[in-house]
Each structure stands twice: as structure tokens, then as C-alpha cells.
Amino acid sequence: MRLLIHNNYENASRWTADYIAGRINAFAPEQARPFVLGLPTGSSPLGVYRQLIAACKAGKVSFSHVTTFNMDEYLGLPPDHPQSYRRFMDDNFFSAIDIKTGNTHIPNGMTTNPEEECGAYEQAIKSAGGIELFMGGIGSNGHIAFNEPGSSLTSRTRAMTLTTETRIANSRFFDGDPQKVPSRALTVGIGTVMDAREVLIIVSGRQKARALQAAVEGGVSHWCPLSCLQTHPNAIIVCDDEAAEELKYGTVKYFKDIENLN
């Protein structure tokens, strides 16, 4: 597992966007052989989305042969709800790049049959050839997508009940009222993320520092879903100095040394 510690969020976002654009360009996707990209919502990826939009507008990368699968969606929110993840992705990324809407996938939060919807989502990922690169963020408790602590490390796409901690954290988008945050969501599983050929997680800010410390310096545990990356053959965590604050001095020095970041 690589850990890239950048001195601020802007630099972490720029590095990540350059990396993703480079991976897409090196893959040279075509209609019959699209690049399959997994994507998150949240504040953490916003800087990356801004940089990728700029790169697309500057002709440095194209998404015309990119297929995307998002990590999760609230259960019970229609796609045009201002806080649905479909709306978030359209507003913050898809509408500003040259991607075909039909190539963007997000679980349907309005399904009346979550089990069937989740099975179909897994099948769609498989039919697309699997995910080449899964970008993600984490919650302050170390969750990936909506896989809360205690989730099986081999879990697949399914409906999950959100913790109070997560509903409080996400209430900032729901008039500050945790009761307005849906209590359930559809989410890819940790096993689904781990199946991606590469996983890249962005971690920013002091509120994520304890989760990052547990994931990097602790053992693999379902209590910190992010720690699953320790067993992935091709995983990268990109963070900023604030998120690295709980890591040991020696750990920070080690990763900065091998990554040539100082």
C-alpha cells in the first residue's frame, strides 16, 4: 500500500487528478474497451473533480470512453433530490465533462427491491469487465462508501443501516438535522471495492486522522473498513498533512522518503 502525504488538500487533489488522467490516457480506452472507473461522493473528491474537469476542458483527458460506477446512494431519495448522490455527481462532475450519461452508474435509491437492485449492480460491474480504478473517500470512523465499522471485509453491494455518527456527519447537507438524513443506503461492499484492479482513497482533514492512523498503523480489522487496503495488491492512499496528524513521526518520514515527498 502506498501512502502519499501532501502538504495540503489542493496538492493532494492535483496529484490524484493527474494520476487518474494519466491512467485513463495510458489505458487508451475505446468504445469496445472502456476504462471502468469507480467514484465517490462527499467533500473529499471535490478538488479532484474540479481538476479533472479543467483537464478535460483543456483537452488533456477525455471521458468519452469511460464507464463509471458510484459507490453508494441513499435509499428513498429520488435522483433529482438535491442531496441524492446522482444529483451530486451530475452537478459536480458529469455535467461538466464529455462523459455519456448512459455510461454513468449509480444504485437506484428508489428501488422497491434493494436486494435485486444490488445484485444487478454487481452484475453490471462484472459485465463491464470489472473496475480498473476505484477512487474513494472515507468517513471519520473509517467507513468506505457506506460500509460502516463491523461490515464484513468480503461484503458485496447491499442495503446498509447508517450509524448515528454518519448521519450526524452528513446532516451538514440536510439543514443540520440528522433526522433528515436517510437512515439507510445502498452501497458497494468492501469486497466489491477490493475486486477493483486498483484502489485510490483520498483522506483529508483532521477529522479523518484517527481513522487513517488505525488503517495504516493498526492491523486489518472490520472495525476500520479502510484497513482492508493493507491486503490489496495495488492500493494508494492520498492524504494531506492534517489527516496524517495521528501517524507516528517515523511513519510519516518513512512514506515521505519512499515517495520522494518532503
Residues that bind ligand GLP (CB under 6 A): 40-44, 71-72, 137-139, 145-146, 166, 170
Name which of 72 and 132 has its Cβ closer to ligand GLP.
Answer: 72
Name which of 165 and 198 has its Cβ closer to ligand GLP.
Answer: 165
To ligand GLP, the closest distance from the beta carbon of 25 in angstroms equals 26
To ligand GLP, the closest distance from the beta carbon of 238 in angstroms equals 13
To ligand GLP, the closest distance from the beta carbon of 32 in angstroms equals 31
Long-range CB pairs of 48-54 (<8 Å, 24+ gap) are 48/13, 48/16, 48/17, 48/20, 48/135, 48/202, 49/92, 49/93, 50/13, 51/13, 51/14, 51/16, 51/17, 51/18, 52/17, 52/20, 52/21, 52/93, 52/97, 53/93, 53/96, 53/97
- Distance CA(209)–CA(197), nearest Å, equals 26
To ligand GLP, the closest distance from the beta carbon of 217 in angstroms equals 21
Name which of 24 and 89 has its Cβ closer to ligand GLP.
Answer: 89
Name which of 37 and 65 has its Cβ closer to ligand GLP.
Answer: 37
How do the residues of the chain divide into helix, strand and coil, expressed in percent and rounded to 5?
40, 20, 40
